[in-house]
């Protein structure tokens, strides 16, 4: 691997690490009523993300893996489409397939500026 590739990879990891931290803080506020986020990571180059959450009343955390996402912006706002996702619980993977994957969801305006970090 060339020095330029090493530098590019390092910069990419630093960007994703910083982005993960910022998004984790924003997502924690959304998730707080359901439980506590234990871990969050994103790979903006691969368009993947992973989150580990300990839900209220549960003893074991669940893991959600977004295997592919897409962000888009048009005149009406910013949107996210989760194209493929799985979870550490079978019932949750089915729920993701039935209600989340493939659907376009608006990103709240106060978080829309964060999406520029993960494009």
Compute the half-sphere exposure of residue 26: CA atoms within 13 Å on the CB side of its CA: 15
At 18 the pLDDT is 46
Average pLDDT, the chain: 82
Is 60 exceeded by the pLDDT of residue 55? Answer: yes
In the chain, pLDDT over 70 holds for what percent of residues? 71
Q: Which pLDDT tens digit goes with each residue over 5-42?
A: 665 555 555 555 545 555 667 678 888 999 999 998 88
């Amino acid at each position: 691997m060339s020095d330029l590739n090493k530098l590019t990879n390092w910069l990419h990891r630093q960007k994703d690490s910083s982005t993960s931290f910022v998004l984790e803080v924003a997502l924690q506020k959304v998730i707080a009523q359901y439980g506590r986020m234990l871990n969050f990571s994103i790979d903006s180059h691969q368009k993947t993300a992973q989150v580990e959450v300990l839900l209220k009343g549960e003893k074991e955390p669940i893991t959600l893996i977004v295997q592919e996402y897409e962000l888009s912006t048009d005149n009406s706002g910013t949107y996210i489409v989760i194209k493929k996702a799985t979870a550490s619980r079978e019932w949750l993977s089915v729920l993701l397939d039935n209600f989340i994957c493939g659907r376009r969801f608006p990103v709240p305006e106060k978080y829309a500026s964060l999406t520029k970090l993960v494009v």
